[in-house]
Structure 1
Amino acid sequence: MKMCKRSVLSASVLLILAGCNSGGGSSDSNATTPVTLSVSDAPLDGVSEVVVTYNKVAFLPLDGSSPLLFDVYKTDEDGNYVDENGAPLPDGDDPLPLSVNLLDFQGSDSKSLLDDQDIPTGNYKLCLFAHDGDHPTYPSYVKETGNGNQIPLTVKGNGKCPQGVGEFENTGTLYFNDTFTVNDQNNDYVAEFDLRRGLKEDSGEYTIQRTSVMLINTVTTGEIEGDVSLATYNGCETDTTSGNGFAHAVYLYEGNVAKADMGTFAGTGNTAPVAAANVVTEDNGLTYEYEFGFVAPGTYSVGYTCTANDDSEEGIVVGENFSIYTSQSGLSVAAGSEVDANL
């Protein structure tokens, strides 16, 4: 069963693109190929919705030709425009921008922004545009668990989209500066949001940092998934002292890493994780599972914790002790593989 995933491509979730080239390339205007671009996420503690409204995607060719700018609209499975309830849009009505609750698309699930759009083959960079929380129509927002408060969400990119595309009012720009290749075979890309790392709250507003969003060609990746036994799950809470409650997660480390060397996002320990996946249940606690989707080929290790809520890039929660409870090391991932690692 596909549950909670993080993209894992290189040292900090992050930067290996399928067909990635470090130098510029030329696109052949006479050869086009279908490209699919989707978005996906992994879950986060304390929020029930993270809704991002997309309106445009720009492909930036490295051969000097003009950027390709596409509008992103809300459609059904057949590509027909629909209203907020999914009903066919009446003739003459303007299509709606696409609002996506990222928490609805986890594991190997993703939501298409462009589906089989013909694009010339070649090397590109990418801009993805999303409404800010102050947009007058269809703003992005976060809904908090418990109180149900809806808080504005702003996407923090790198300013304007280059090559003359520019910016749009009340809209954030996610600029992917790493070159990727649209080839004549496999082009199924996902913009993967790492919310545990990149979703920040400050002064009544949430932001998503550009550095927490990565572009991945899913064709070249594998998966790591597994069960967390009831004995492990319950034992962690029994054996761990926490005044802050518990949050169960599995951390992913690049390489063959021993449990004693597994560190935190806060920077403690010998080896920092590259991603984290929540441990979840769909049968009221009879079984628990986790999954990392879109993992680049290589060797990895996983460590289970029930104190993930005490760890963040800002530091360990004051007065709390984060720890890895159990682990598996030396997991080999190949393109298209599904690696089981039960804990």
Structure 2
Amino acid sequence: MTICRTMLLSSIFLLSACGSDSNTTVTVAEQVLPQGQFSLAISDSPMVGVSHVGMVMGELVMTDAEGVIHRHDLQDMTFNLLDFQGMDSHLVVDNIDLPLGQYHDAYVTIQQGDGNDGCYVEDGQGRHGLYVADGQLPVSDFEIVAGQHISITMEIDLYRGLSYQQGEYHLGHQAMWSVDNRYMGHLLGEVDPQWIADCETTYSDRTPIGGQFSHMAYLYPEEVTNIDQMTDMRTNPPEAVTLPTAVSPMMQDIDGNWHFAMGYLPAGNYRVGYSCLGHLDDPVTDDMTSGQFVMFKDSGSITIEAGTQGGQQTVHECGNGNGGHHGHHAPIYLGASTTKKIVSHVNDDYH
């Protein structure tokens, strides 16, 4: 009996007997490797003094466990990063299929800016080029599991990472992190107006030009237990103090209530500090020992919980709070469907 092999368009191989009265057909299905889905979003913390942080993204690059590099074209995706603050995020990659396994050395390439093309920053002095370290936005390692959708959000803390040098802005990696949306939460802060008034009165001799103090919330890891261990934004701090994990400006709503938000924080324990002297805190230099910056209040510890599906909101009252006003934020993030409010109340004396 002679055997002929024919390939069908449906990717199924057909084996049939030819030249014989008895036809025999055997089908063998082609092996299809299982896959999972991956999404990536980006968010940032608010920043005073700049109106646009223009991003131009080239591609998402990932390396699997076998050393194979995977690329996903972002087609020069362009957007203003400041449009996606706090709990808001911009979807960069939407539900793409990837083979199963571990992925590392992942990053998004960006087009370096010269003030005309590529990434840029607009402030009160005009438009400036934005240079991002290594031309990349790093993404944490992740694992693709069969039948699961992995959603990661990249958070950029502009206050800690963005600096102005020699006519252009620089964005460093030290102020970036990414988190699986199943294991993160959001912090909403309500600020006691008496804290605001007391800080401005105490440091009236340090009133900035224009008369507007920069009220800032500083978030520290749980090993910080008191205000003496809280340092400003800087590089290479001494062992006795700890750098903030995140920094966010405090905003005032139309009714005069002060509040702040920090989004996409890995679940865990933290501590909150407050100062009205953010205008004296340069992200690179030591402004506590060689400058005039002072941390005014220790607002106590806070636990960020992810909840059942990620994205739980935790409300923290600084002092006596402000009566429940925290900006009326709504949850906008991937992979979460429920939120829960937890109130943490601290009324420590300032240092």
In 2, distance between residues paired with 1:135 and 1:45? Answer: 20
> 2:130 aligns to what?
153
> 2:251 aligns to what?
280
1:243 Cα deviation after fit: 4.3
Matched, 1:235 2:214: no
Contact 1:242 1:320 (C-alpha < 8 Å) held by counterparts:
no
In 2, distance between residues paired with 1:293 and 1:334? Answer: 12
Matched, 1:200 2:163: yes
Q: In structure 2, the residue corresponding to 1:49 is in which secondary structure?
A: strand
Q: TM-score, normalised by structure 2?
A: 0.71
Matched, 1:335 2:299: no
Change (3 A) 1:332 1:247: same
Q: In structure 2, the residue corresponding to 1:226 is in which secondary structure?
A: strand
> 1:302 aligns to what?
272
In 1, distance between residues paired with 2:182 and 2:32? Answer: 24
Change (3 A) 1:330 1:54: same
1:112 Cα deviation after fit: 0.8
In 2, distance between residues paired with 1:329 and 1:124? Answer: 37
In 1, distance between residues paired with 2:243 and 2:56? Answer: 32
> 2:74 aligns to what?
72
The one-letter amino acid paired with 1:181 is E
Change (3 A) 1:151 1:261: same
1:251 Cα deviation after fit: 0.3
Which of residues 212, 219, 224 in structure 1 aligns to 2:175? 212
The one-letter amino acid paired with 2:144 is V
> 1:314 aligns to what?
285
Which of residues 57, 63, 76 in structure 1 aligns to 2:66? 63
RCO greater where, 1 or 2, for CA within 8 Å and sep 6 or more? 1
In 2, distance between residues paired with 1:29 and 1:265? Answer: 51
> 1:166 aligns to what?
none
Which of residues 84, 100, 107 in structure 2 aligns to 1:105? 84
Change (3 A) 1:317 1:101: farther
Gaps of 5+ in 1: 1-27, 74-96, 158-171
1:200 Cα deviation after fit: 2.0
> 2:14 aligns to what?
none
1:198 Cα deviation after fit: 1.5
Contact 2:267 2:303 (C-alpha < 8 Å) held by counterparts:
yes
Matched, 1:259 2:227: yes
1:230 Cα deviation after fit: 2.2
In 1, distance between residues paired with 2:181 and 2:120? Answer: 27
Q: In structure 2, the residue corresponding to 1:238 is in which secondary structure?
A: helix
Change (3 A) 1:261 1:64: closer
The one-letter amino acid paired with 2:128 is I
> 2:3 aligns to what?
none
Contact 1:246 1:309 (C-alpha < 8 Å) held by counterparts:
yes
Question: Which stretch has the larger CA shift, 295-304 or 228-237?
Answer: 228-237
Q: Of the two, which has the highest radius of gyration?
A: 2
In 1, distance between residues paired with 2:213 and 2:293? Answer: 10
Change (3 A) 1:331 1:47: same
The one-letter amino acid paired with 2:225 is V
> 1:292 aligns to what?
262
Q: In structure 2, the residue corresponding to 1:314 is in which secondary structure?
A: coil
In 2, distance between residues paired with 1:29 and 1:134? Answer: 46
The one-letter amino acid paired with 1:339 is T
In 2, distance between residues paired with 1:249 and 1:113? Answer: 29
1:318 Cα deviation after fit: 9.1
Matched, 1:190 2:153: yes
1:216 Cα deviation after fit: 1.6
> 1:40 aligns to what?
43
Q: How many residues align?
A: 273
Which of residues 130, 151, 156 in structure 1 aligns to 2:110? 130
Which of residues 210, 214, 218 in structure 2 aligns to 1:247? 214
1:263 Cα deviation after fit: 2.0
**What fraction of aligned residue pairs are identical, expressed as a percent?**
25
In 1, distance between residues paired with 2:188 and 2:65? Answer: 37
Matched, 1:142 2:121: yes
1:297 Cα deviation after fit: 2.2
The one-letter amino acid paired with 2:122 is K
Greater strand content: 2
1:115-142 Cα shifts (integer Å, max 9, x gaps):
1111122111212111111397x52100
The one-letter amino acid paired with 2:276 is C
Contact 2:95 2:149 (C-alpha < 8 Å) held by counterparts:
no
1:235-262 Cα shifts (integer Å, max 9, x gaps):
2212223143521110001115223332
